[in-house]
Structure 1
Amino acid sequence: MTDKPTRGKPPVSGRFRKGQSGNLKGRPKSKVATPTSSAIEVILDKTLIVNRNGKPREISVEEALQQHTLQQALEGNRSAQREVLKWIIRRDKYHAAENQRNSPNAVTVRYSYCPDNANEALLLLKVAAPNPKYEDNDKAIEHLLLEPWAVQAALTRRRGGKKLDKKEVEAIRQCIHDPDSLRWPKGALE
């Protein structure tokens, strides 16, 4: 190697050895302050006073832009609609993550299907009542009679279909507290 300076490089004799620097204080700091936020962030931090329904309200520039984008989306602007859909997807992802994080431990629910449960529900809703023939017996709950209003409602809602024969009418009468109080709809009986 020659000791001649080459383009962009000092002569070999003027170079520092590997691992040794000529500037003991290090690279000087820049005197120009670097901006901490962009111009858009500075604008978005500002607030505006907007009149809505005759009342002044202070909102951020970001909120005003969102309202404007939403209005454009409602007017049919396709790019605004896509932007609003992105907001919705982002919000849904956030809520899903929050719900998953805040959800309690899983609870196992077991259902037992027992006819007694249905009987209790019928009694509670006053659709049926215990059969008086079996009141002295422990099996009174198993022998329920339907209330006339419930059967009457079922008969009045019966549309179309074939007429009821004598056997079906007798079966219905046996399942009701007061079978004589029923008003049979026209055309229900043969």
Structure 2
Amino acid sequence: MTDDGSRDDSKAGYKKPPVATRFKKGQSGNPKGRPRGRHRHAPYEAVLGQLVTIREDGVERKVTAAEAFLLQLAKRGLKRDISAAQSAMTVIEEGKALRAANDPGLTEMIINLVSPGSVNTALEPLRMARKLDAYRDTARMALEPWIVEAALERLGERHLTREEQRIVLKATRTPWKVNWPDWWEERP
């Protein structure tokens, strides 16, 4: 305090910076500050855009991390993981909507998750066959009766040999439910 009772702001000391370097009222202490929008969002593009190597049936290939993640989600969904299936379908629908917005000519997106050389993974979702043991990845698949009937109708005049008939019979899940043609010799 000065002799007349007013404050002397010119003195510098503890918690009192010199008057010349003090911030003016209403002035920011960090004028440049943090750039707007920086560090607000997770770096999805940096992480999910990276290339990773995946192996399918012993064959390696490079895909983006996002694609590998979606493939894993779809694989879990096909193994009856409901939440994974819902998540995969949500991502697929979002992708469809995004593509439709960018390319109005696109009307449908088909994702085929069949491993090269194997159709087993496609037969179950199409309800053409069923795994005999749902909890084993390598379980034997058995054909549904309706698909056997449809295939036999397509043969027309051509008949299967007795050995081929045995193979079809063994591959059918419930052979007693099939309406076998008159020429069929092997019975369940």
TM-score band, normalised by the shorter chain?
0.3 to 0.5
Normalising by the residue count of structure 2, what TM-score does the alignment of the two structures yield? 0.34
User: Which structure's residues are more often helix, by fraction?
Assistant: 1
Please report the TM-score for the alignment, with normalisation by the length of structure 1: 0.34
